[in-house]
Amino acid sequence: MTDYNLYKIFLYLYEEKSISKTANKLYVSQPAISYSLKELESQLGYTLFYRNSKGIEPTTEANELYHYIKVAFQILNDAEEHIKNLNQLNVGCIRLGILSDLSSFYLSSFISEFCKKYPGIQFEITCDEAESLMEMLENRQLDFVFLTTDLCTRKSVEKMVLSSVSFCLAYSKEAYPNGVSLNQLDSYTLLLPGKKNSYRMKFEEYMENKKLSFHSNIEVDDSSMMLEMVKKGIGVGYFIQDAIPNHLEDLSIILLADIPSLHVCCSYVDDFLTVAARKFLEMVKTYYQNSKE
């Protein structure tokens, strides 16, 4: 591989058409420029410049080479500028993975606050099953994954416990003006997450321990969609309690305090984090440290 500095000298020679001007701009001696030119010509096997009364003139081979070297140096300059902007948080992208159950209410405040401070940073949010999200994290396709602690079991990633989540049933006040009885839940249209969902499993365990019967008429893995369906009176939905507070004018809830709460954690691989991702992690840590005080 030819020395980077030889090509840099070639660019100056081509554009200045003068050994002396090139030497002055690069703060080196004229003999050093001449030596570097001969070295480059020797490595390439072509004469690149002819001397004349005005200075030097590029050969056909030099004209061909210039276009490639000019583009290559422009790419290098752009790369350096991009890295500077990344470090200064002027540009960048943070890729988040989260369970759909948490996505509707858990990330919006973080993203909103971060975008106000660093408007040049973009966010990509992926909702998927826990196993897929963790694979994407380990393959550097995601910067962070937000899961419950019982789903974050990989030893290769670090996790920061953020908060706990509790569960409830919610229903439309208008659709069920007389309320809903937990003991007669099997008489209502019930909306639950899919059977593989860990929250669903906890609900089934809870109902079994209480010796209460139910059947799921509708399975919905997206909590936002479930919430809209419940508000329209389609049935009774099973939710993380934090998803409900902004909708209490329309909904009534039944707290399921006997279901053990789950802890939400932020999972990441420290060595993979970009400058922007580290700044986001600092913000999340600060938020939860302050909330505990």
Look at residue 10 and tell me whether its pLDDT is greater than 90. Answer: yes
The predicted model gives 58-70 an average pLDDT of 92
pLDDT digits 0-9 by tens, 181-227: 988 898 999 999 888 777 888 899 889 988 988 888 899 888 888 88
- Upper half-sphere CA count for residue 196 (Cβ side, 13 Å): 7
- How would DSSP label each residue in 153-207? --TTSEEEEEEEE-EEEEEETTT-TT---GGGGGGS-EEE--TT-HHHHHHHHHH
Higher pLDDT, 156 or 15: 15
Place of tokens 């906890």: 202
> What domains are defined for the chain?
4-87 (1.10.10.10), 92-163+263-292 (3.40.190.10), 167-260 (3.40.190.10)
Place of tokens 């993203």: 111
Residue 237, classified by CB atoms within 10 Å of its CB into exposed (0-12), middle (13-18) or buried (19+), is buried
Position 130 scores a pLDDT of: 82
pLDDT digits 0-9 by tens, 138-193: 888 999 998 876 666 667 788 888 877 788 999 999 999 999 998 889 899 999 98
Position 104 scores a pLDDT of: 54
pLDDT digits 0-9 by tens, 130-140: 888 989 998 88
